[in-house]
Structure 1
């Protein structure tokens, strides 16, 4: 083992630790690892640049655009709303329909927007069926994962692994090749959720559902501190009458900027605007409230009926990394963040100074008008209201569906590789006006693309340094030492699958896919067998992430919204992971011989 291999292994371990602890974004970790390998000379600059010419990220970017066009067209919303139209619907009917419909759509477009569109509908369905939303949200996420394992374009990991295969002069996956494993997993997973999983799903409440109807309703008052006010240079926290009034100070705005201090402890100045929330009961006091405002030298500017709204922050949002104060949140949206739900925890202290992350669930307080306007904001998904169907024209809907159908047919027939077909379909949707150019740019999840680019470079370093060959040889040697010759390919297949599963549950699935695809090819070649079944195993294992809420993006979404705990995913997901493993071990050797 030379110094280069040692340094690559240490770099890889440091990256894995950083991925797991999430102190910095995954794509930044990957880029730092790539940069270190470049600086030390382990990775040649030209080899790193070759990673940026890889077809996989380009294909995934095109698929993001196609997915956004389908979402904009209203086609997914129309299908989702039909699930609510069943008279006297029962869970036994709705749940299998939900799983199959979501899986079918997720097989052909990125599954994150599918889950985002279905979220409000599922929450509405839960109310209609009089069950907690937590009984339907994990099945929603898992259904999208089932669908993603059925086709090449169902998830970005499949495209990445296919591209890694091509870079090693192996055939790419065909469009429906993975369906040999994906469809049995869909059937078995659906039966598991219906017969076993549903009973284990917990009764959990969303953030806003724990509020009573009285607590949900608020009136938002905006007041102006007049010149000569008796409370100038004083804090509202020091005024007993104000503290007993039942009013809640949300923000103090000075010179058009919300102050980042506790609004109750800010010494007030003439001209300050104070945003106050009052319950209907407090507002009903009428004269005492007006009298208090007058005593404080506050002049009421506006008063509007409002309340709380629960929203999810989209994963691709440009707001990530900023704080509500840094964004001047109230001035921008006329809403005040009251709490943030993240990774199973409610963050309700120093909310204004908390850095936002994609997938965060925000509890916002504001007027009804501001809540209505928020629905049109591309960075948020309003999750406690039934969505309004997109006003997109039937022309756009038809053209979008035709573009997707043409992409599938052309790719399946072998007329164009999936990369070319996806680029042509995306260009067609842009030129026909089905999706605006700026919406296309916004739809691309750049962090995922940069993560893949960087990890492809790291994968190249594994090969050129000899690290990949060393690890592959070690795996093969372990297999040869403990397993009879006839069973060695299957044992190695099981080992590759299980390692990929573990890495996927704690890291980014795309990072795990790149690393394990490279190692799987090396291990298969060292054992003297066809790498194809091992690449299929990596593809399935990198997508079939059910045991943690952090292994897959859709799990992260429903984690916060459903009020789940980490243990809920372990309890329901580990048996499903085991089921997926058994299916893969049974099916893969039968379809792809060693």
Structure 2
């Protein structure tokens, strides 16, 4: 027994020492966080606190699988244009007002969190918020932390917002015989959300770090207009659809505008999908792409009863087709070949809309290609993705990036929304475990071609996955060695016999402190039985104590390692480890006030 106790205390001391060194290394910020996290797992393994299997168990844990699957789902939501649509709504209603932008962004994040979890909501909205910040000339660091903190508050709006809520519900059922309503969590969640929004608006400019990330995405929201101005100048590019009763049907495809007025130029004949027409004769539904003065285009369209199909993207970009700007690479096989506007490329899937040599006028006739020449290609989005990855040319902006920022609710929006709804239903009803639900949704996004396998692979934020996977052994060690229970028991014992408010304050402090070091789910699992036993001894309503634990468990605000959501925003915002506590402490004070003062109002501490 003596040797067992000595060994146990040694494991506790080693675990606490590793924890302290890890936090110091994170704060020091001189080593990559992945190296620190992996070093933690290896240190625990080397000192014998955990076994080999335990040291690497985090990388096969359900948590890492859940996060990885959510990255794919988030990628699909972004690729389908759903986040672009949400971003458009934000820009439309927020305008240039920082206050409206922050409030709307945080509100959308909180509502989404209530259905797909904190990590899922942050992963889904992160690309949109970063691009939105660039578009509006703001630093992502000023928006991403309020977004993540809104997600934490949103997890308490309804029962399905967090796994901790389910644990609280189960504990309430076991201890009192009756549970907590689906929307009852909102009694504390809504004040937390409103208060967090107010703090972000009031104190955000003072407490949020003014940092820039290593790299920012390019704002491509007005890319169609930019390309039109660069390649076409004052001319317009319009698609004229041939109706079923048109006299043009049956005419040669090579020049359907043989008698067109001067100043009107035929570019190509395409299908509605953007694919060039290779048939010899025109057919109903074909689209004639013309360039010239808008008045001439209107007159010609009226004379031939043609329908103008263009929208706001000036004939360059739609849900079905888009454009890619390429530069001819040095020593390219294209050097010395002939190119002209309207030429169909060798693949048969793309058409050359324009060709220009730097410093020269835009070419409207046949020209010999030289290294450094620029070409504007048009075709279906899938064709652009496939045929512009070529060593002969260099892409200026990828078609995928253009589509995501310029096409709201693209072709994959409907299947993406259906899969998202199915995942929400599975998560809210617990038909299957959360990792299984997320994994099924991620697989469905690939099968339904909302994202390609390559896009799914690229969606992985490896820094986050490595950090979470490598830190899980430390979280387990803190629990299994008894370090967490020893700390919690000692702190709760000091105030266990005091009044209800001091008891709630003590439980909040213990839960919040542990929540900065280990996952909030693990924190709740440790604190729930301890707090219930103290509530029984002090003859206090167990529901009061449990709701205090629920609020405190969501207050993982002071470090990036406290939740995966906090970690996700670190790199895109350019945050450092020590950037979270300034604004986090202000929000933490709000959580403390709600847990200690507001919880007893809705769930009285005295037992009837």
Normalization by structure 1: what TM-score? 0.55
CA distance in 1 between partners of 2:86 and 2:197 (Å): 19
SS at match of 1:415: coil
Please report how far the alpha carbon of residue 13 of structure 1 lies from its aligned counterpart in structure 2 after TM superposition: 2.5
Flag the 1:457–1:18 CA change in 2: closer, same or farther, 3 A.
closer
Q: Which residue of 2 aligns with 1:124?
A: 135
Q: Which residue of 1 aligns with 2:406?
A: 389
Q: Which residue of 1 aligns with 2:492?
A: 476
Please report how far the alpha carbon of residue 60 of structure 1 lies from its aligned counterpart in structure 2 after TM superposition: 2.4
Q: Which residue of 2 aligns with 1:8?
A: 12
Alignment RMSD? 5.2
Contact residue 64 and residue 444 of structure 1 kept, 8 A = yes
Task: State yes or no: 1:143 paired with 2:154.
Answer: no
Gaps of 5+ in 2: 217-357, 360-369, 375-388, 537-541
Contact residue 34 and residue 466 of structure 2 kept, 8 A = yes
SS at match of 1:552: helix
SS at match of 2:405: coil
SS at match of 2:154: coil
Give 1:78's match in structure 2, choosing from 77, 85, 89. 85
Give 2:424's match in structure 1, choosing from 376, 388, 408. 408
Q: Which residue of 1 aligns with 2:443?
A: 427
Instruction: Encode CA deviations 1:147-193: one digit per residue, 9 max, x unaligned.
Output: 34323899x995589799999x9999999786554332221222333
Gaps of 5+ in 1: 127-132, 210-282, 285-300, 306-331, 335-368, 378-384, 505-510
Task: State yes or no: 1:495 paired with 2:509.
Answer: yes
Flag the 1:579–1:59 CA change in 2: closer, same or farther, 3 A.
same
SS at match of 2:406: coil
Please report how far the alpha carbon of residue 514 of structure 1 lies from its aligned counterpart in structure 2 after TM superposition: 6.5
Task: State yes or no: 1:97 paired with 2:104.
Answer: yes
Flag the 1:176–1:70 CA change in 2: closer, same or farther, 3 A.
farther
Q: Which residue of 1 aligns with 2:68?
A: 61
Q: Which residue of 1 aligns with 2:247?
A: none
CA distance in 2 between partners of 1:304 and 1:140 (Å): 40
Task: State yes or no: 1:373 paired with 2:380.
Answer: no
Flag the 1:425–1:175 CA change in 2: closer, same or farther, 3 A.
farther
Alignment of 1:270-309 (within 5 A): none
Contact residue 407 and residue 421 of structure 1 kept, 8 A = yes
CA distance in 1 between partners of 2:602 and 2:472 (Å): 28
Task: State yes or no: 1:440 paired with 2:465.
Answer: no
SS at match of 2:136: helix
CA distance in 2 between partners of 1:208 and 1:52 (Å): 28
Q: Which residue of 1 aligns with 2:592?
A: 581
CA distance in 2 between partners of 1:422 and 1:57 (Å): 11
Please report how far the alpha carbon of residue 417 of structure 1 lies from its aligned counterpart in structure 2 after TM superposition: 3.6
Contact residue 77 and residue 413 of structure 2 kept, 8 A = yes
Contact residue 423 and residue 438 of structure 2 kept, 8 A = yes
Please report how far the alpha carbon of residue 96 of structure 1 lies from its aligned counterpart in structure 2 after TM superposition: 2.8
Please report how far the alpha carbon of residue 77 of structure 1 lies from its aligned counterpart in structure 2 after TM superposition: 0.9
CA distance in 2 between partners of 1:7 and 1:203 (Å): 41
Q: Which residue of 2 aligns with 1:467?
A: 483
CA distance in 2 between partners of 1:143 and 1:44 (Å): 38
Instruction: Encode CA deviations 1:551-584: one digit per residue, 9 max, x unaligned.
Output: 9346535654xxx999987665543332233223
Please report how far the alpha carbon of residue 28 of structure 1 lies from its aligned counterpart in structure 2 after TM superposition: 4.4
CA distance in 2 between partners of 1:457 and 1:94 (Å): 39
Instruction: Encode CA deviations 1:25-77: one digit per residue, 9 max, x unaligned.
Output: 44544444344444544435666687666533322222222111111111001
- Whichever of the two has the greater Rg, that structure is 2
SS at match of 1:373: coil
Flag the 1:467–1:178 CA change in 2: closer, same or farther, 3 A.
same
Q: Which residue of 2 aligns with 1:399?
A: 415
Please report how far the alpha carbon of residue 111 of structure 1 lies from its aligned counterpart in structure 2 after TM superposition: 0.9
Contact residue 155 and residue 161 of structure 2 kept, 8 A = no
CA distance in 2 between partners of 1:48 and 1:153 (Å): 36
Contact residue 199 and residue 587 of structure 2 kept, 8 A = yes
Contact residue 150 and residue 182 of structure 1 kept, 8 A = yes
Flag the 1:9–1:112 CA change in 2: closer, same or farther, 3 A.
farther
Instruction: Encode CA deviations 1:349-384: one digit per residue, 9 max, x unaligned.
Output: xxxxxxxxxxxxxxxxxxxx978336858xxxxxxx
CA distance in 2 between partners of 1:153 and 1:424 (Å): 25
Instruction: Encode CA deviations 1:518-573: one digit per residue, 9 max, x unaligned.
Output: 54246436636668446524531115769x9x99346535654xxx9999876655
Please report how far the alpha carbon of residue 389 of structure 1 lies from its aligned counterpart in structure 2 after TM superposition: 2.2
CA distance in 2 between partners of 1:88 and 1:113 (Å): 22
Contact residue 41 and residue 474 of structure 2 kept, 8 A = yes
Please report how far the alpha carbon of residue 490 of structure 1 lies from its aligned counterpart in structure 2 after TM superposition: 0.6
Flag the 1:412–1:444 CA change in 2: closer, same or farther, 3 A.
same
Normalization by structure 2: what TM-score? 0.54
CA distance in 1 between partners of 2:67 and 2:112 (Å): 16
Please report how far the alpha carbon of residue 205 of structure 1 lies from its aligned counterpart in structure 2 after TM superposition: 9.0
Give 2:25's match in structure 1, choosing from 21, 38, 61. 21
CA distance in 2 between partners of 1:153 and 1:20 (Å): 34
CA distance in 2 between partners of 1:534 and 1:376 (Å): 46
